[in-house]
Amino acid sequence: MVPQTEGVLSLKKMLDHLKIKQVGGLKIETIIRLGRFVIQNNYFSCNGQFYHQIRGGAMGSPLTLTVANCYMFFYEQQIIRQINNSGGLYFRYIDDIFIAINWPTRHLFKQINRWNHF
């Protein structure tokens, strides 16, 4: 799950990284404010009760997908370097990761634990 604040910040970071100043006439600051509003104001109902989602983003939302991809792009850079430097393969589709590497199992699990605490 992508944290809400870090997710929106990664969207800003990606737009800066790509040197995008406007999208469809909207300034980046406006896009970020709207994105923050959407992420922080997700409500749903279950069995007649209404709930406010306070962690992560709504599954299936186009914004959540975009935010997750931006977040993972920056999150995974160090991991990709480490895997590539060891002659391994790293592939990702949204939040599913495939790694093929010739490391002892113990070392791999140790690295995964480190990556989970970035």
Query: pLDDT for 55-67, tens place per residue?
Result: 999 888 899 999 9
Res. 24: pLDDT tops 80? yes
Higher pLDDT, 6 or 94: 6
User: Which of helix, strand or coil describes residue 94?
Assistant: coil
Tell me the percentage of the chain whose pLDDT exceeds 90: 88
Average pLDDT score over residue span 63-88:
94
Q: Where are the alpha helices (DSSP H) in the chain?
A: 4-17, 28-40, 62-75, 77-85, 105-115
